[in-house]
């Protein structure tokens, strides 16, 4: 069951990554008469490229996790006894509890929450022209859906609060530093033209991630170990 779940994750996030790299800009090309599409089309080849977008960072985190988890299913262990677990299992558990689950939770809930309030804040209607619905759900829905299935079907040894928050904070600070460098180079984007993946939306995501996941992890832990 866990191997099937992890292979589905590899397939979904691998396909989304491939399409985002090779087809999104190609699809946007014919629609450059729209100012927002033109801004996105022209900004992607600049410094930072697609890595200016938090969505891409989150998608990459999910892909890395599910590759690690699938390899662990084949070559590692999935024991309930912490001391009997392999290094690969410990890496899987740490990556899931400190990064994959928190990032999925924040990106998905924040995206669809803001989408419900005013979609232009995160996904303007014009993006439907070149960003297909299945890719949108693959990036903004599947991480949380597969993450919740993972919590319910695969038992993990959760790291301490301080380790989890430290790793998550390191990830977010690195991303914000990357954004700050882009702004210093004059490549920051206006909020009205930003989708989910540009400042200041990402700053809200970063703060929310630490605040939300810090106190929530122990409750997830107790649920996951319930017999």
Residue 217 CA neighbour count, 13 Å, CB half? 25
187: pLDDT strictly greater than 60: no
Whether residue 151 contacts residue 224, with contact meaning beta carbons closer than 8 Å, is answered with: yes
Domain range annotation of the chain: 2-224
pLDDT for 44: 60
* Residue scoring higher pLDDT (129 or 200): 129
Global pTM value: 0.80
- The DSSP output letter for 108 is H
Mean pLDDT across 153-167: 84
Highest mean pLDDT among 43-52, 72-81, 141-150: 141-150
C-alpha span between 101 and 168 (Å, rounded): 10
216: pLDDT strictly greater than 60: no
* Residue scoring higher pLDDT (104 or 31): 104
pLDDT for 218: 44
**Ramachandran area for residue 106 (φ above 0: left; ψ -120 to 50: alpha; else beta):** alpha
pLDDT tens digits along 72-128:
999 988 887 777 788 999 999 999 999 999 999 988 998 999 999 998 888 888 888
> Is cis: bond before 221, omega within 30 of 0?
no
Place of tokens 């090779």: 22
Place of tokens 């122990």: 218
pLDDT for 221: 46
pLDDT for 198: 44
* Residue scoring higher pLDDT (96 or 216): 96
Q: What is the mean pLDDT of the chain?
A: 79
Instruction: List the one residue out of 54, 76, 45, 82 whose CA is nearest residue 187.
Output: 45
Using CA atoms of 122, 126, 127, 132 in order, give the dihedral in degrees to the nearest 10: 130
pLDDT for 206: 53
Q: Chain centroid to CA 98: how far?
A: 12
Highest mean pLDDT among 52-56, 96-100, 165-169: 96-100
């Amino acid at each position: 069951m866990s191997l099937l779940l992890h292979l589905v994750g590899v397939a979904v996030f691998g396909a989304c990554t491939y399409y985002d790299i090779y087809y999104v800009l190609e699809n946007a090309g014919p629609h450059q008469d729209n100012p927002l599409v033109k801004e996105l089309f022209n900004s992607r080849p600049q410094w930072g490229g697609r890595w200016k977008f938090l969505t891409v960072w989150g998608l990459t985190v999910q892909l890395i996790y599910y590759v690690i988890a699938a390899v662990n299913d084949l070559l590692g262990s999935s024991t309930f006894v912490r001391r009997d677990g392999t290094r690969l299992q410990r890496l899987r558990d740490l990556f899931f509890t400190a990064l994959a689950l928190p990032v999925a939770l924040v990106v998905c809930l924040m995206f669809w929450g803001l989408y419900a309030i005013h979609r232009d804040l995160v996904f303007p209607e014009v993006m439907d022209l070149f960003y297909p619905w299945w890719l949108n759900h693959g990036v903004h829905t599947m991480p949380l859906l597969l993450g919740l299935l993972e919590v319910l079907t695969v038992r993990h040894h959760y790291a301490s609060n301080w380790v989890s928050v430290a790793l998550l904070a390191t990830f977010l600070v690195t991303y914000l530093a990357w954004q700050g460098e882009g702004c210093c180079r004059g490549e920051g984007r206006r909020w009205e033209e930003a989708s989910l993946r540009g400042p200041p939306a990402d700053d809200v995501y970063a703060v929310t991630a630490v605040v939300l996941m810090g106190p929530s992890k122990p409750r997830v832990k107790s649920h996951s170990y319930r017999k």
